[in-house]
Structure 1
């Protein structure tokens, strides 16, 4: 059901999602969103994780009553669901409504390494 990349990147994405959940639980809402952004960078080449993270960002925006983020995530959920499988994603984009959904961004060395490792195990 899931691609090999999705299976390989899963521990890294889930680690960030766990940190986001913990930060939310502790009332550190901006920190939680930063972890969602990290999960987005790591998982955006997987349709499953790309859509999942945008849905979680949508939920975060709803709970924070952040209408700009909420509406931005609706657009991004649709894009993630329809464009990821074709590789139409801007590398390194953090996924929030505060950046263009088309803007490529630098990826940290650690995250580049995690992504490269997940891709190399695919071949």
Structure 2
């Protein structure tokens, strides 16, 4: 992962962690989605973003998110280097195979 991309990913994960610690779960999930977009081409970063989404699912008692994230963690470990749907935000609120538009501020890191 290039240094600028790594810093952007880490910043999104740090923001998610801060919101998680303050029980601001919607804001936490927003930053996890952004981290997912940045890290989905890298096995460890991709898996880390899904792990945190799973953790958030447990915290909010969201069964759909829990089950969906378990499947996505497995897929992230197996397929991150083979194929990923660019821009997909990674939550169970979206189809895991659907490519999505990448926000402009994140796209600059993915060129």
TM (norm. structure 1) is 0.86
Two-structure CA RMSD over aligned residues (Å): 1.1
How far apart are 1:19 and its partner, in Å? 0.5
2:72 matched to 1:71? no
Contact persistence 1:6–1:46 (CA under 8 A): no
Pairing partner for 1:110 from 97, 105, 108: 105
Task: State the alpha-carbon separation in 1 of the partners of residues 2 and 29 from structure 2.
Answer: 22
Query: Residue in 2 aligned with 1:11?
Result: 7
1:9 positional shift: 2.1
Q: How much has 1:90 moved relative to structure 2?
A: 0.1
Structure with the largest fraction of helix: 1
Deviation at 1:108, TM superposition (A): 1.1
Q: Secondary structure at the match of 1:106?
A: coil
Of the structure 1 ranges 7-16 and 37-46, higher mean CA displacement relative to structure 2 is found in: 7-16
Is the 8 Å Cα contact of residues 4 and 109 (structure 2) preserved in structure 1? no
Report if aligned partners of 2:86, 2:100 keep a CA contact under 8 Å in 1: yes
Unaligned ranges ≥5, structure 2: none
Which residue in the other structure is 1:89 paired with? 84
Aligned residue-pair number = 111
Unaligned runs of 5+ in 1: 117-123
Q: How is 1:11-90 mapped onto 2 (pairs within 5 angstroms)?
A: 11-86=7-82, 88-90=83-85
